[in-house]
Amino acid sequence: MARIHNGRKGRSGSTKPHSDDLPKWALTDGKKIKSLVLELSEKGHSTAVIGTILRDQHAVPDVRRACGMRINQILSEKGKAAETPEDLMNLLHKVLSLVNHLELNRKDLHNSRQLELTEAKIRRLVKYYKSKGKLPEDWKYDRKQVRLMVA
């Protein structure tokens, strides 16, 4: 499979093990894991950070195999899920930092192109989320409004 914005082929960084059962040392209590997820969410952590904290500090290598649900599913079950998906918000943060950089460095052509590529990713992702019903149909990306969306 080729990368989207360059001519080279790429490989993903890591793969999960094929085994369906968790290691002996792993925390397998689903109720405790769900309470940890909700507690970390209330502290303001994103789902990716929650997964990392659970892995590194609480011996939960895979929340999905331990609970039968993903972190986002646990949060949406309790009504705590974010209204904008996390990957879309990360791209909006990236656009904001690129716009701020380009205001100071107008002749930076490399980052100007990177801004265009990131906005193209956002448009594709918005189209996908609208089709899945995770974003409202009237949601629209606008570079001028990105400061309001992120803040």
Q: What's the predicted TM-score (pTM) here?
A: 0.81
* Tens-level pLDDT at each residue, the chain (151 residues): 567 888 788 776 777 778 878 889 998 899 999 999 999 999 999 999 999 999 999 999 999 999 999 999 999 998 888 888 999 999 999 999 999 999 999 999 999 999 999 999 999 999 999 999 999 999 999 999 999 988 7
Domain limits at 128?
Answer: 86-150
Is 66 a domain residue? yes
Give residue 150's pLDDT: 86
Task: Provide CB contacts within 8 A for 109, sequence distance 6+.
Answer: none
**Across the strands, what pairs with 2?**
9
Do 38 and 56 lie in one domain? The reply is yes
CATH number at residue 111: 1.10.287.10
